Amino acid sequence: MQTTRINLSNINRNSIYFKGYKPRTHKEFNDVLKMAEPYLENLPKAEQEKYETFKKKIHLTKEGEANLHSTDTLKAYLAFKKLLKYKGNLNLIKSEKIGIHNENSPFLGEYAKSYEDFYYFVSKSGSKIQKTYRNLYNAIYTSKKLERFKMLEKCDFEEAFSIGREMLDEEKKAHNISPNQKVTKETTILPDAVYGRYSTNVCKIIADDNANTDWQSIILVDKYSRMGPLLFPRPLIKLHEIYHVKQIKPGEIEKEDNYLQELGATIDTIVKNDEIYKKLNNISQETIVYYRPMAQNQRGKSFNLGEFANIFRTIKTIKNLRSYEEVLITPEAIRYLQNDLML
């Protein structure tokens, strides 16, 4: 196995930060907050407290300056920048729609640092590890034979949908979101025709600096689940796109052809699908289920998604990791991918 030792604690995040709606200097950050401050006076008390919370969550460096790479710092910047832009007009500030995730979304940026560390790790690793992750992407995400990922039977889908919805509700509850609040927008219009080259289900960043638009991301989910029918219950598709929102750093712009962002989200979906199957059939989570047919690596060698799900779930649980990006850079995961799956 290729051994890679990369210190993630000393990353120069300026070198890898994806450009977008972010403050370029501490002066720019401080100026926005200072100029927006007068507009707080005329806001209702509840709104004033919300902005105070944004300020309290700003992360500081050892030098006492705002950490311009922190998710909470960037959320505060976007909030005060919008307050300044609209001069405290709440009707304009709060004109949010279903499926929109901006600085107010508790999902936004939750895994941003983990994803950034993963991106850095891969970019600094040798070609063997980079090829491993690319092969994994081809095996679990871009496979032309989608039936390989059929882990549930058609007769199970009604109950599977119910369990998936419980998972979605639990995710909302963990982020202080009401079960009745919609966090994705269902559409019958394919996003390909509206937003360009994207799949039917999509997490898309909407931002146009030239048009002076507000930064935000949106989740669109096909109402009829035309993408991958009978593969994943629709609540899991929604959770997959929510995972992408968690990867996004507030204010960043869309990344082109970045296959790495699909790895953690797709592993999460496979693990959750495995959990649903086990709940449907009263199987313990520790048991390996042998699904048929199986996924394949680049050599045509088959591997079982049940074992795959268990391995990644176990590493994440034992090491108490937050995201699957954190799992993917562990020696155990790399050894499994390279030696066992031959990716």
Tell me the three-class secondary structure of 53-76, residue by residue: HHHHCCCECCCCCECCCCHHHHHH
**How high is the pLDDT of residue 252?**
85
Q: Using CA atoms, how far apart are residues 120 and 78, in angstroms rounded to an integer? A: 25
pLDDT at position 116 is: 92
Query: What pLDDT is recorded for position 201?
Result: 67
pLDDT in the model for residue 283: 96
Residue-by-residue pLDDT tens, the chain, 343 positions: 344 455 555 555 444 444 457 888 999 999 999 999 999 999 999 999 999 999 999 999 999 999 999 999 999 999 999 999 999 999 989 877 889 999 999 999 999 999 999 999 998 998 999 999 999 999 988 766 555 567 887 778 889 989 999 999 999 999 999 999 999 988 775 544 444 434 456 777 776 555 567 888 888 887 765 444 456 788 998 999 999 999 999 988 766 658 899 999 999 999 999 999 999 999 999 999 998 767 888 888 889 999 999 999 999 999 999 999 999 999 999 999 999 999 8
pLDDT at 158: 85
| Cα of 295 vs its chain's centroid, Å | 23
The whole-angstrom separation of Cα 80 and Cα 39 is 10
Report the pLDDT value the prediction gives residue 300, as an integer from 0 to 100.
82
pLDDT score at 256: 61
**Do residues 39 and 84 lie in contact, with contact meaning Cβ atoms separated by under 8 Å?**
yes
The CA distance from 337 to 321, in Å, is 18
Question: How confident is the model at residue 23, as a pLDDT?
Answer: 87
